[in-house]
Amino acid sequence: MKLFYTGPVINTEMLVMMLEKHGIAAMQNFVDATAPDDGDLNRPAQVFVPTADYDRAYQLFYAEREDEL
């Protein structure tokens, strides 16, 4: 697994769902696993993707789209 994104949990949950819709089995972890889960949507989290799928995930979410120009 390779780190793909770090940000607030509200973003990571949506990213994981979107990656799964594209057939990429992503995994989410909290940055500070010892902090209590108090429902804070700004709590820092990380998204990991399989190394083999990293390039495809990057193209889906970070590459510029030529069809939007």
The token pair that represents 11 in the structure block: 């973003």
| pLDDT tens readout for residues 11-64 | 999 999 999 999 999 999 999 988 888 888 999 999 999 999 999 999 998 887
The residues, ordered by sequence, that sit 6+ positions from 18 with a Cβ below 8 Å of its Cβ are 61
Contact criterion met (CB below 8 Å) for 26 and 47? yes
- Please give the DSSP secondary-structure letter assigned to residue 23: T
The answer to whether residue 69 scores a pLDDT higher than 60 is no
| pLDDT tens readout for residues 49-60 | 999 999 999 999
Contact criterion met (CB below 8 Å) for 21 and 57? no
The answer to whether residue 66 scores a pLDDT higher than 90 is no
What pLDDT does residue 35 have?
A: 84
pLDDT, mean of residues 5-15: 96
- Please give the DSSP secondary-structure letter assigned to residue 2: E
